[in-house]
Amino acid sequence: MNALKTFGRFWYDFIVGDDWKLAVGAVLTVSLTFFLTHHDVNAWWLAPIAVAALLGISLAHASSRATSR
């Protein structure tokens, strides 16, 4: 059980990393792009905008946490 937990933890850290919200945001962005393009909207602009917003929010949280310590 412990080995399984360590294995799961390793892959979580490896793929998701320090901020799970970035990973979830990236998946949601790509899913929404897929949805829009399959409804006749060429949503090439969505990922660039979403990435800026996701990174900005994540960095703002991280820096706030660092300063409040």
Partner 1 sequence: MAHDVFIVLAAFLACSVEMVEALTIVLAVGVTRGWRSAIIGTIAALSGLAVVVAALGPALSVIPIDSLRLVVGTLLLIFGLQWLRKAILRASGFKAVHDEDAIFEEERQAALAAGRADRDGIDWYAFTVSFKGVFLEGLEVAFIVITVGSAQHNVALAAVGAFIALVVVLAVGLVVHRPLSRVPENTMKFGVGVMLTTFGIFWASEGAGVEWPGGDIALLAVLVYVLGMAVGLTAALRARHARVTAELTVAAG
Site size toward partner 1 (CB under 8 A) is 33
DSSP three-state, residue 31: helix
* Amino acid of residue 48: P
- In whole angstroms, the minimum distance from the beta carbon of 1 to partner 1 comes to 22
- List the x/- string, 8-37, binding to partner 1 by CB under 8 A: ------xxxxxx--xx--xx-xx--xx--x
Find all residues with CB under 8 Å of 46, minimum gap 6, and list them.
29, 32, 33, 36
CA distances to 1, 9, 38 from 54, in Å: 35, 24, 24
Where do contacts with partner 1 occur on this chain (CB under 8 A)?
14-19, 22-23, 26-27, 29-30, 33-34, 37-38, 42-44, 46-48, 51-52, 54-56, 58-59, 62-63, 66-67
